[in-house]
Amino acid sequence: MKVKVIVTLKSGVLDPQGKAIQQTLNGMGFANVKDVRQGKYFDIDIDESDEQKAKLSAEEICKKLLANQVIEDFKII
């Protein structure tokens, strides 16, 4: 089954790319954009029919490789 994972920077961790995007948007006329945080999205196809088992695998995958938990959080959706 397919599992979707989103990895984002923890709040409080500096995100220079997000900041640059926000400033660019402001410059383009989107004056109402107050903050942008950039993240990563993964589509993972796991050879597993049991949803619970697939999500457990995904969690381990996130902890061991996809997210660096010093600065990043992950969400399995």
Partner 1 sequence: MNSSVIIFPGSNCDRDMDVALKKFGFKNKMVWHDDDKLPKSDLIVLPGGFSYGDYLRCGSIAGKSKIIQSVIDFANSGGLVLGICNGFQILTETGLLKGVLQQNKNIEFICKNIFVKVNNSENKFFENIDKDVLELHIAHNEGNYFCTEDELKSLEDNNQIAVYYCGSDGKVDDKSNPNGAIKNIAGIFNEKKNILGMMPHPERMIDQSLSGEDGSIFFENLLKNLK
Q: Applying CB under 8 A, which residues contact partner 1?
A: 13-14, 16-17, 20, 65-66, 68, 70-71
Residue 31 to residues 15, 18, 27, Cα–Cα distance (Å): 20, 15, 8
Min CB(2)–partner 1 separation in Å: 19
Query: For partner 1, which is the closer residue by CB, 52 or 68?
Result: 68
Tell me the three state secondary structure of residue 23. Answer: helix
CA distance 3 to 61: 11
C-beta closer to partner 1: residue 54 or 61: 61
Taking the complex as a whole, how short is the minimal distance between the CB of residue 17 and partner 1, in angstroms? 7
* Helix ranges restricted to H, the chain: 16-27, 51-61
| Distance of closest approach, residue 68 Cβ to partner 1, in angstroms | 6
Q: Identify the bridge partners of residue 72 per DSSP, sorted by sequence position.
A: 9
Which residue lies nearer to partner 1 by CB, 50 or 60? 60
